[in-house]
Structure formats: C-alpha cells, structure tokens
Amino acid sequence: MFETIQGEASYTGTPSIFLRLQGCPVGCSWCDTKQTWDVDNVYKVSLDETVEKKADSDHWAQASAANILALFQSRGYTAKHVVITGGEPCMYDLNPVCNLLHENGFSTQIETSGTFEILAPAQTWVTVSPKINMRGGFEVLTTAMQRANEIKHPVAMQKHVEELEELFVKTGVNPKLVYLQPISQKESATKLAIKTCIAKNWRLSIQVHKYLGIS
C-alpha cells in the first residue's frame, strides 16, 4: 500500500491510495510488477511491513477489509480515492473491502485484466486493461467488458490496436471511454497511440507518474 497520484486514464492527477493485491496467472510479457505474480508463503510478512518496503519484492501480507482500513487510518493517509490493483485483483471478492471503504468516505477503483469475474459494488469504478493472447491462456470475459467504466489498452504495435478492435466485435461491447497506453513509453508506441487516438476519437494514457519519477 502507498499513497501517491494516479497517473493513468480518467483519474490521472487524483491523489490515491494504491492497494496492490498479490497473485496473477495472466502472464503479460511486459508486466512491470512481476513480483506480484506468485503467492508464496515463504514471502509472507506482517501487514505493517507492506508499507515500509523500499523496492519491489515478492513479500505480501494477509489482511481483512477492517485491517486495511485501520492501516490507512494509522498511516494518516489523506487521499480519498483507493485504487485496487495487482497482480490481478479480481481473483478475489472485492465487495467487503470496497463496501467498507465506501462507508468510510472513500471512492474505489479496480484495475483488472478482465480475465476474472468482477465482484465489486456498482459504484466502484472499473478499469479493464484487456489482456489478449497472454501466456496464461485466459480469455477476456464479456461480462468484464460490459462492467468496465473505461478501457485502458497497452499498445506497442499495430496488432495490439487490431486485437482490441476484434475484442470489441467479439464481445459486442462499444465502450464510451477507450484509452491507449504506450508500452514502456517507447517513442514508436507513443506515436502509434497518438495517431490511433486521433483517428478513432479515443484517449491517450501516458503514465504520468513514470514521467514524473514517482511511484
């Protein structure tokens, strides 16, 4: 857990508490949080230790919704927007933690690959970053696409744009908010994303936090 500024898609610039959940079988080749993939008891630590880490690691902690809220309060976090990410957060039922956070004045957002059923309250903002043809072999669910408040799609080459368009046809979903996000801030990917966004009236997500050099 950490407090920072959301750097992607619709909530860019919003002070946010990031709650990163452990575990992900999807297997994206460009993943920048591969330390979250495995839930290994060897790396289990206390909840307090998850906010003290100085670098990426495989360490994780088990916590209830009440534990999470209590830690937010004890840390003195002032942000009121909570981004639940991973890993793949939708491996878990997120209703308990989202409902408790809503009851205590927070808004919530989930960032998911769309490959697991989304178990969350209706008022939770859902960002689906559809992971198509990844190593784990998981399909992007039509129900996840239908639930999405926004689509945020990483792109590096034209085939990634084509895969997204094919997914829209396959699922019958035509989202109002579509963001393209250049993978690794590469110049060629950024140019492709800008060109495509202009042509299709989509939006650009540039991972502002990475350009600023913050978490």
d(Cα 139, Cα 127) in Å, to the nearest integer? 17
d(Cα 18, Cα 1) in Å, to the nearest integer? 5
27 annotated among ligand-binding-site residues: no
Q: Rounded to the nearest 5 degrees, what angle is found at the Cα of 17, between the Cα atoms of 13 and 19?
A: 125
85 annotated among ligand-binding-site residues: yes
17 annotated among ligand-binding-site residues: no
Residue 28: φ, ψ to 5°: -70, 130
d(Cα 122, Cα 145) in Å, to the nearest integer? 14
**Residue 50 near residue 59 (C-beta atoms within 8 A):** yes
5 annotated among ligand-binding-site residues: yes
200 annotated among ligand-binding-site residues: no
Q: Which residue from 85, 77, 100 is spatially nearest to 26, judged by alpha carbons?
A: 85
31 annotated among ligand-binding-site residues: yes
32 annotated among ligand-binding-site residues: yes
Instruction: Give 154: exposed, middle or buried? Use CB within 10 Å, 0-12, 13-18, 19+.
Output: buried
20 annotated among ligand-binding-site residues: yes
131 annotated among ligand-binding-site residues: yes
| Residue 30, both tokens | 């460009």
**Residue 112 near residue 124 (C-beta atoms within 8 A):** no
6 annotated among ligand-binding-site residues: yes
213 annotated among ligand-binding-site residues: no
Residues contributing to the annotated binding site for substrate: 5-7, 20, 85
Residues contributing to the annotated binding site for [4Fe-4S] cluster: 24, 28, 31
Residues contributing to the annotated binding site for S-adenosyl-L-methionine: 30-32, 87, 129-131
Residues contributing to the annotated binding site: 5-7, 20, 24, 28, 30-33, 85, 87, 129-131
Residues contributing to the annotated binding site for Mg(2+): 33
